[in-house]
Amino acid sequence: MIVLEIMTIFLGVLFVLLVPGLAWSYIFFTRKDIDWIERFALSLGLSIVLVPISVFWLNWIFDMKITLLSTTTVVSVLTIIPVACIFARKSTWVKNATSGLKSILSRQHRK
């Protein structure tokens, strides 16, 4: 029973203090810009800033009570938004790269 409680606490801390900041760190910096220790520190800092501000802002503006469900929803949304942006950016990169490659190949084919 104690092991289950320890695992719950550990996963909860990771979910709140690391995951949102890690997702946002990939928005601001690519993999080659910073190493893993800088990304870890930046992730902790971003999560510590983003999660409480978002939860308290929603409580103050929309009178949304601070519960486990509302906090989980805020953390999930704070994680899903940058992940969706990263996928959208990658898909446009792929489209731009393939269109550029096709134009280069068609130019070489015409010569």
What domain count does the chain have?
1
What's the CA gap between 75 and 77, in Å, rounded?
6
Written as six digits, the tokens of 111 are 């010569």
pLDDT at 51 over 70: yes
Using alpha carbons, select from 24, 33, 17 the residue that is nearest to residue 81: 24
pLDDT confidence of residue 88: 86
What's the CA gap between 21 and 27, in Å, rounded?
10
Contact of 23 with 51, CB cutoff 8 Å:
no
What's the CA gap between 17 and 48, in Å, rounded?
6
Residues 83-111: tens digit of each pLDDT: 999 988 887 766 665 666 556 656 655 55
Residues 5-47: tens digit of each pLDDT: 999 999 999 999 999 999 999 999 988 889 999 999 999 999 9
Q: Which domain holds residue 33?
A: 2-110
